[in-house]
């Protein structure tokens, strides 16, 4: 049992998935919310992500992308949340533990970036403990102060408010570039 500011979280057991199953990236649907919830909660229990409530997931479902495998299992998720005219946050990034290291995290982030570019956003950022993963995708570490106060919109509700270890990473898109 993990304790996060008085909340007890029971250990999460994710459905078993096949590492070699084919995968498709698509926008999330309401029926995916349970799977997204458990995937994020699995990693939250390990201290790597913030728990997202069902309420949050339903309200923000249009932000989410999922990777669904050919057996119908959700093996990855990510969200793009627009904060302002020139800034969006990549959040809720999680890959099933059986499918780590196969390029799925990269695929999810590039999918969210493509959506950001299509919307006309010049940059995206993320709060993360996986700085080197984001560096491999062209992000750079930035100071909290270099980002507008809007980026702290969720901090007040965060159980790690006084003990935040997350690092801000940002990626500026070059005009005309298509990805990577
Ligand atoms: C972080 C996470 C999304 C990465 O997904 P993944 O599918 O395992 O990563 P990929 O296979 O797409 O890796 C892409 C690149 O990043 C590198 N990488 C992946 N995880 C890394 C890590 N933890 N540290 C350093 N580099 C990493 C890979 O080597 C690869 O680089 P390459 O293309 O030069 O070989 C996944 O491990 C995860 O779900 N972690 C737990 C939850 C979490 O921390 N989420 C992030 C919240 S911001």
pLDDT tens for 100-156 read 999 999 999 999 999 999 999 999 999 999 999 999 999 999 998 888 887 877 776
Nearest-atom number in ligand 1 for the CA of 49 is 47
> 95 CB less than 6 Å from ligand 1?
yes
pLDDT at 66 over 90: yes
pLDDT at 57 over 60: yes
pLDDT number for residue 55? 97
Q: Which CATH number fits domain 2-172: 3.40.50.800, 3.40.630.30, 3.40.30.10, 3.40.50.10490?
A: 3.40.630.30
pLDDT number for residue 177? 63
Domain boundaries, the chain: 2-172
pLDDT number for residue 145? 85
- Ligand 1: distance of its center to the CA of 159 in Å? 24
Query: For a substitution probing ligand 1, which of 136, 139, 171 has the most ligand atoms within 8 Å of its CB?
Result: 136
> 111 CB less than 6 Å from ligand 1?
no
Nearest-atom number in ligand 1 for the CA of 91 is 48
> 128 CB less than 6 Å from ligand 1?
yes
> 11-46 pLDDT, tens per residue?
899 999 999 999 999 999 999 999 999 999 999 999
Please give, one letter per residue, the 3-state secondary structure of the chain: CEEECCEEECCCCCCCCCCCCCEEEEECCHHHHHHHHHHHHHHHHCCCCCCCCHHHHHHCHHHEEEEEECCCCEEEEEEEEEEECCEEEEEEEEECHHHCCCCHHHHHHHHHHHHHHHHCCCEEEEEECCHHHHHHCCCEEECHHHCCHHHHCCHHHCCCHHHCCCEEEEEECCCCCCCC
pLDDT number for residue 129? 93
Which tops the pLDDT comparison, 15 or 163?
A: 15
* Residue 56's pLDDT band (cuts 50, 70, 90): very high
> 101 CB less than 6 Å from ligand 1?
yes
């Amino acid at each position: 049992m993990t304790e996060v500011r008085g909340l007890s979280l029971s250990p999460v057991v994710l459905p078993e998935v096949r590492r070699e199953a084919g995968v498709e990236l698509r926008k999330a649907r309401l029926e995916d919310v349970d799977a997204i919830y458990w995937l994020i909660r699995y990693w939250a229990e390990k201290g790597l992500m913030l728990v997202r409530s069902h309420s949050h997931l339903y309200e923000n479902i249009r932000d989410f992308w999922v990777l669904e495998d050919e057996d119908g299992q959700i093996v990855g998720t990510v969200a793009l949340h627009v904060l302002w005219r020139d800034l969006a946050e990549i959040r809720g990034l999680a890959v099933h533990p059986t499918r780590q290291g196969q390029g799925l995290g990269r695929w999810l982030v590039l999918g969210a970036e493509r959506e950001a570019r299509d919307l006309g956003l010049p940059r995206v950022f993320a709060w993360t403990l996986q700085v080197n993963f984001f560096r491999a995708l062209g992000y750079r570490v930035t100071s909290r102060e270099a980002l507008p106060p809007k980026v702290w919109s969720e901090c007040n509700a965060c159980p790690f408010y006084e003990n935040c270890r997350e690092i801000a990473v940002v990626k500026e898109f070059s005009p005309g570039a298509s990805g990577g």
